[in-house]
Amino acid sequence: MRRCVFQIAGLCVLSAAWLSAQATKPAPPTPIDAKKAELGGKTWDPAWDQIVEQAIPAEMLSSQVPHDVKRFCPRFYTMSETDKRVFWAYFFQALAGAEAGLNPTTRVRHTEPEVAVTDKVSHRAVRSEGLLQLTYEDQKRYDCDFDWDKDRELKSDDPAKTILQPKNNLQCGVKILDNQIINQRKSLVSKKSYWSTLQPGTVSYRVFAKEMINPPAACEAPTRTPKLKQETTASVHQAATQNGASK
């Protein structure tokens, strides 16, 4: 009898895991992604939507999310948890578009005095790397899955580097944003945000805002690009591939 109970419990766990895995959906494409899919450039991988959606903690689906989220997703607080995860997937796609042009191997060395410092992990000049332009110091600050000891043996733009791997980079980005809006209780768009793209009044923020014009339909955003409406990243890529094959 006990064995049967354990078997049933095991099935319940598997069923719960299956349902959890099904609670993700592809996000719409950002303008930069749609354009790059059309032209054959570096695009957002639809699999990255799932990485972000599965990394979102419960508090980022709750009323703890600051109210300025409504400027991008007016119905955020009344949407299902699945739709909220899709919104966050779109949000991080827009952030990656503004930060790195959706290229996971992008690396930038800043020369501004306030950021031109030495990375306390690599002991080299700080470089912003990957989809969300992160640093090795973030491993200590936010418990991100970066390993400098392994990466130092690889070429600077080797996609095998832990900091450049989309999963590690995006999961770290979720932790950073969670710290900003939940732990520190700051606005989503804040002058003290980790990313300049989320700092109001900057050129970088204006670039980010332009990528946020096509959020998920569940958000009921007032501004929407008709050409992209109701499409997903996956469908945009498929259409671009078909158009390329027919030429």
Tens of pLDDT along the chain (247 residues) come to: 444 444 544 444 444 444 444 478 999 999 999 999 999 888 999 999 999 999 999 999 999 999 999 999 999 999 999 999 999 999 999 999 999 999 999 998 765 655 557 767 765 777 899 999 999 999 999 999 999 999 999 998 999 999 999 999 999 999 999 999 999 999 999 999 999 999 999 999 999 999 999 999 999 855 555 556 557 777 777 776 776 666 5
User: What confidence score (pLDDT) does residue 11 get?
Assistant: 47
Ramachandran assignment for 136, one of left (phi > 0), alpha (psi -120 to 50 degrees), beta (any other): alpha
What residue has token string 């990656």? 96
Residues facing 107 on adjacent strands: 129
| Contact between 185 and 192 (Cβ < 8 Å) | no
User: What confidence score (pLDDT) does residue 244 get?
Assistant: 65
| CA proximity to 43, closest of 242, 238, 246 | 238
User: What confidence score (pLDDT) does residue 83 get?
Assistant: 97
Instruction: Return the domain boundaries, the chain.
Output: 23-242
State the greatest distance between any 2 C-alpha atoms of the chain, in Å, as a whole number.
69
User: What confidence score (pLDDT) does residue 113 get?
Assistant: 56
Burial of residue 89, with CB atoms counted within 10 A of its CB: 0-12 exposed, 13-18 middle, 19 or more buried? buried
Query: Does the pTM of the predicted model rise above 0.85?
Result: no
User: What confidence score (pLDDT) does residue 30 get?
Assistant: 97
